[in-house]
Structure 1
Amino acid sequence: MKKYDYLIVGSGLFGSTFAYKAMQQGKKCLVIDKRLHLGGNIYSEKIEGINVHKYGAHIFHTSNRHVWDFVNSIVEFNRYTNSPIANYKGKLYNLPFNMNTFYQMWGVITPSEAMERIEEQKHEAAILLNGCEPQNLEEQALLLVGKDIYERLIKGYTEKQWGRKCTELPGFIIKRLPVRLIFDNNYFNDKYQGIPIGGYNRLTDGLLTGVETMVNTDFFENRAYWESVADKIVFTGKIDEYYGFRFGELEYRTVRFEEEIHDCCNYQGNAVVNYTEAEIPYTRIIEHKHFEMFGTEVDKCHKTVISKEYSTEWKPGMESYYPVNDKKNSTLYDRYKLLADNESNVIFGGRLAEYKYYDMHNIVEKVLGIFSNS
């Protein structure tokens, strides 16, 4: 008899949710994580009384009532609504593209006026294509929303995010660009959204209550031992690393964060401000207090913490954030997935193990589905 039913490698949202559901079924789990803390990328650190999202802003949103009820059964979520602002050369625009955006850009006040401007510019882009299909992201975006929106709100931000010219990026990256002909700044279309009251660490702590955990513990430093302690492994790390990079390394984009503490109650008046011009090196500034403080609460905390985000090319040893789902990497991942599909005692799950960008609700939904089918 092995000591554990499951060894769970990684304490992020997939691993923590899996441990919670397994515990409910009476299974004995051990969760290990190579970082010095639990929670993976949803980990927050308390700075000046503010929960700072250490690995980038995380906003929970879903239309799945079962998923929403589940996370709220662990910790109550607040009413935060994601309404980012774009700053282009000192002028502010609401996101996603809606009537507020079009008024700020053109001064139009009716949906028909806005649509007329957009269709006019889309028609100009179609003429330039001369009946050909878009060959890159720039051509695709121009065909979807026209020149003004593309040049002010898409081009610079996208090139910083991917480290490549829009003319060098595939069009499928922007399959569609939603245009709302209403005055609605809510970024997500989902029915539910919010942030855990008290921060994401409360969600992690709730999911892992009663579960044995170890931090600062690298699975690969003593792999033979860790493989011997449990009947099954739940692996949430990098799938190529699990297989010793035998086919080569998968590529990622990564993000670097610069934190600043400011002696003021309110730095930018919003949780998320995107900087869409190419000349500013960071992609956005996050002001963390706005995720959990609203109205007069903001002024009661006389300090604020911001994070400037810099998107960079990933190199070995850096944090792996966004899979590069181009043809080369997708083909490489398929080779690793073929190996994974033939594993009887290993469950691969999450962004790194499946080489796929996931929103948080997708992760929770996937784990709940695993146990509802078991």
Structure 2
Amino acid sequence: MKKFDYVIVGGGLFGGVMAWYARKNGKTCLIVEKRKQLGGNIYCEDIEGIPVHRYGAHIFHTSDKNVWQFVNGLVEFNRYTNCPVANYHGEMYNMPFNMNTFSKMWGISTPEEARAKIEEQRAGIFGQPANLEEQAISLVGTDIYEKLIKGYTEKQWGRACKELPSFIIKRLPVRYTYDNNYFNDRYQGIPIGGYNGITEKLFEGCEVMLETDYLADKKTFDAMGDRIIYTGTIDAYFNYRYGKLEYRSLRFEDDIFDVDNYQGVAVVNHTAREVPYTRTIEHKHFNCTVPYSEIPKTVVTREYSVAWEEGMEPYYPVNDEKNQELYQKYAELGAGEKNVMFGGRLAEYKYYDMDKVIESAMKKAEAEFGSLA
């Protein structure tokens, strides 16, 4: 039986960064991946010459200079800036919520007027917001909540906003300037040609087994590595000893149109509850280095949020109190596992932006191998 320094379970970003640093330190790695390809959720599929983000829109953004330099050392990034819009029954509003949004919603023009309007509409919220609905209204008032947050959020999570914890909405940017850049981070962009180039660099020199379930033959794979890096669902690793953690999943449907520009922007949030999908993504807008006229067709993906069931891809952890308590039990089990490192959004049951996954992996790589310089 061939022996490796590391058996890395999962071919996503966390596993890739760990593999990259392991190889840099002269270690051998076996990658065990259930999907047909490496890359995790950043995998891109070429359709009509357009890199399609197969598992949802991924815009790289970070304020961490080390992370930005790391990814730019792998591939070249474009200057893409995320400026999504929201569609409510044909009314189009800029995201994140900013002066353009407020002006369109209320016919006002100054930050003072916007603040006064929001203050008026949140007058019924007292003390600490008890749920997502109260948190949203306290941030942006009732009009924006009703039109641009409520329906979208309830589709995304499959439950009423009053039943969701307030912290989910706290990461939503709100600003009193005419600035449509969704992110506040210092650095932002998308790899030219899509994310597959990053994946290729991260796993270069590794032995790879695709369409392979590590847990189906765990003893064999454990015997093949001196150390295991596990990035799958942590409850599955322990055979659901305390029960199953809950997730939300996504379903995607593609349309190919014989036009060079279908919706005028990469991401449109469809906020009306009656519209069954949450977003439409026109992928060619991500690849802003290529003129539209050079690619006569366009690919638009409708994104549906669905309840997760066994066999589906788990995307978003349901971070309510019940699931967090359950995760803590599994985390304690994980801490007692010899020669196993748990990392990434599934193993840590955590919503991670891409830069935070890389940052986490870099810290663990530094602890594992010493200085990253």
TM-score (norm 1): 0.95
Give the conservation status (yes or no) of the 8 Å contact 2:173–2:183: no
| 1:135 Cα deviation after fit | 3.0
Partner AA of 1:92 in structure 2: M
1:287-331: per-residue Cα shift (whole Å, max 9, x none)? 01110135x701221110011011111111111000011111111
Q: How far 1:177 sits from its partner (Å)?
A: 4.6
The 5-angstrom pairing of residues 1-374 of structure 1 reads 3-123=3-123, 125-126=124-125, 131=126, 133-175=128-170, 177-293=172-288, 297-373=291-367, 374=370
Contact 1:145–1:177 (Cα < 8 Å) also in 2: no
Decide whether aligned partners of structure 1 residues 176 and 256 sit closer, same or farther in structure 2, where only a CA change above 3 A counts.
Answer: closer
Deviations 1:138-176 (CA, angstroms, capped at 9, x unpaired): 222222221111111111111111111112222232236
Q: 2:272, 2:320 → 1: CA distance?
A: 25
Q: Which structure 1 residue ranges, 4+ long, deviate > 6 Å from structure 2?
A: none
- Sequence identity of aligned pairs in percent? 60
The alpha-carbon distance between structure 1 residues 132 and 248, as it changes in their structure 2 partners (threshold 3 A), is same
Quote the Cα distance in structure 2 between the aligned partners of 1:195 and 1:302. Answer: 22
Which residue identity does 2:231 align to in structure 1?
A: T
- Three-state SS of the structure 1 residue aligned to 2:83 is coil
CA RMSD of aligned residues (A): 1.5
Q: Indicate conservation of the 8 Å contact 1:250/1:332, yes or no.
A: yes
Instruction: Work out whether residues 144 and 176 of structure 1, in 8 Å CA contact, stay in contact via their aligned partners in 2.
Output: no
Instruction: Work out the CA distance in 2 between the residues paired with 1:107 and 1:203.
Output: 45
Counterpart secondary structure, 2:122: helix
In the alignment, the residues of structure 2 paired with residue 23 and residue 176 of structure 1 have an alpha-carbon distance, to the nearest angstrom, of 36
Which segment drifts farther, 104-113 or 355-364?
A: 104-113
Cα contact 2:80–2:286 (8 A) shared by 1: yes
Q: Deviations over 1:116-153 (max 9, x none)?
A: 21111122x23xxxx46433222222222211111111
* Other structure's SS at 1:93 match: strand
CA contact (8 A) 1:85 1:273 kept: yes
Contact 2:78–2:288, Cα closer than 8 Å, also in 1: no
> Could you tell me which amino acid in structure 1 is paired with residue 329 of structure 2?
R
Change (3 A) 1:265 1:331: same
Q: Deviations over 1:216-251 (max 9, x none)?
A: 111122221111011000000111111111111111
| Letter of the 1:288 counterpart | H
Q: Deviations over 1:36-55 (max 9, x none)?
A: 11111111100000011111
174-183 vs 300-309, greater mean Cα deviation = 174-183
C-alpha deviation, 1:183, in angstroms: 0.7
Tell me whether 84-93 or 1-10 shows the greater mean CA deviation. Answer: 1-10
TM-score by length of 2: 0.95
> What residue identity is the alignment partner of 1:118?
I
Hey, what's the Cα distance between the residues in 2 that align with 1:335 and 1:55? 29
Partner amino acid, structure 2, of 1:233: I
Contact 1:2 1:231 in 2 (8 A): no
Indicate the SS of the match to 1:52.
strand
1:2–1:228 CA contact under 8 A, matched in 2: no
Matched to 2:3, the amino acid is K
What SS class does the counterpart of residue 269 from structure 2 fall into? strand
C-alpha contact (below 8 Å) 2:86/2:94 kept by paired residues: yes
Asked if the contact 1:14/1:363 (under 8 Å) is kept, the reply is: yes
For residues 163-197 of structure 1, what are the alpha-carbon distances to aligned partners after superposition, in whole Å with 9 as ceiling and x for unaligned? 11112222232236543111100000000011111
**Counterpart AA for 1:35:** R
Which region of structure 1 is more displaced relative to structure 2, 172-181 or 233-242? 172-181
Measure the CA separation in 2 of the matches of 1:178 and 1:7.
Answer: 39
Q: Where in structure 2 are there 5+ consecutive unaligned residues?
A: none
